[in-house]
Structure 1
């Protein structure tokens, strides 16, 4: 089966967590919103089409008669169906737990630059963003990264505890990559405290399964998405 994958064109966003799993797993898919002639309005039309289980927002995956939305939910599905997560129920729930924790940090990273409303421009909430950034850098980044460090210290090279990556490892890679882009000075200071997390970032970045994708134009650069770099929001 070739899946139909829908996400906004032009930004990595939450869709990149799904793309990494599809690419690393060698899973056939169509990036529908990036196909020639497809506009953002086409995505909206497809998303709002009459379905028994309509998605709230991208990303979503069409798998035959099923439409699966929400990043962690899509990955839970792909993990079980394509061996990107442990085979046992406890293992799959554990990997989903990590994915949901990653999603929590992703949401907080976004809210650094949009702490009041996503419908307002950054410049309209800059004072609040400066205050939010200080708390995120000083309190939230160490809290989340410290948790992932403890997990890896107990589990080994991979979050699942086995000898192969899971989709949660790919997602942690993308999270760390986004933090390195958005908060380079803060991450330069924090990196020494979380060697396990940084080693996982390097391991995933060097996976043979991802080499071609990461070097291709299909891997979108960071920009005006979840992770944004504003110099005034970053500090060591």
Structure 2
């Protein structure tokens, strides 16, 4: 067996190890959903092993210099697969997409990988990063209570301007020819971009339940909510959401402060 073939076989047999903060969905949830939706075995290291939080702290410690092929991660999530150690949620999903059948094959669609990644980045920008900045608009190192006045102003703009803007965009994507019918974002097939949109819509629904309920009742974003329900109803996703592997929302990206959802 050639060295390349041997290495490929070793990678195929290597377990996927996800390392993220324990006890919260956060940015690691997008990676979990990719594994769960495809029935791919993985190890949620900090939640499922005796390594616990130390596994994470060791990898983001200033003393960690990585190795000749893997620079040290700045922050979790971290994915370890054989000799590969990568971080950043969209980067991990880009790595997993083709391997798990959640991205178009380059042989069939040479640019599909980039379109799925673009949709993913947009969802993470507007429905994850911006949602987090609502309750921490000044500094993540400060308590919410230390920036509450600014958060109230930020929340008003997010509810009235930014949230509808991103929902409108994804509704438009689902109405576009590239969607292939409106069931999924790209190519009429489930991709990791759909899983990311599902999770981000779920997150903002938890953080801003009144606002999202009004948006749903208004009927302007029917395709987005239909995709949300479609993904939620997939057999493997449904089983995961009902299991104890699904981490509950807490003091992470998505937080529900009633005063921010007026």
TM-score band (shorter)? over 0.9
Structure 1 gaps of 5+ residues are none
Match for 1:96 among 103, 117, 121? 117
Which residue matches 1:127?
Answer: 149
Give the RMSD, CA atoms, in angstroms. Answer: 1.2
Which residue matches 1:169?
Answer: 194
The Cα of 1:100 is off from its aligned counterpart by 0.5
Deviation sequence 1:133-167 (CA, Å, 0-9, x none) = 000011100111100000001121111122x3111
CA contact (8 A) 1:85 1:160 kept: no
Greater Cα shift, 73-82 or 109-118: 73-82
CA contact (8 A) 2:124 2:196 kept: no
CA contact (8 A) 2:137 2:147 kept: yes
The Cα of 1:36 is off from its aligned counterpart by 4.2
Which residue matches 1:41?
Answer: 54
After superposition, residues 86-235 of structure 1 pair within 5 angstroms as 86-87=104-105, 88-105=109-126, 106-154=128-176, 155=179, 156-162=182-188, 164-191=189-216, 192-235=219-262
Which residue matches 2:83?
Answer: 65
Match for 2:103 among 82, 85, 89? 85
The Cα of 1:204 is off from its aligned counterpart by 0.3
Which residue matches 1:27?
Answer: 40
CA distance in 2, matches of 1:153, 1:193: 12
CA distance in 1, matches of 2:78, 2:49: 19
The Cα of 1:83 is off from its aligned counterpart by 1.3
CA distance in 2, matches of 1:167, 1:42: 26
Paired residue total: 234
| CA radius of gyration, larger in | 2
CA distance in 1, matches of 2:131, 2:156: 12
CA distance in 2, matches of 1:36, 1:71: 21
CA distance in 1, matches of 2:199, 2:151: 23
The Cα of 1:215 is off from its aligned counterpart by 0.8
- Which ranges of 4 or more aligned residues in structure 1 deviate by more than 2 Å? 35-42, 46-50
Tell me the SS of whatever aligns to 1:199: helix
Tell me the TM-score normalised to structure 1 length.
0.95
The Cα of 1:39 is off from its aligned counterpart by 3.7
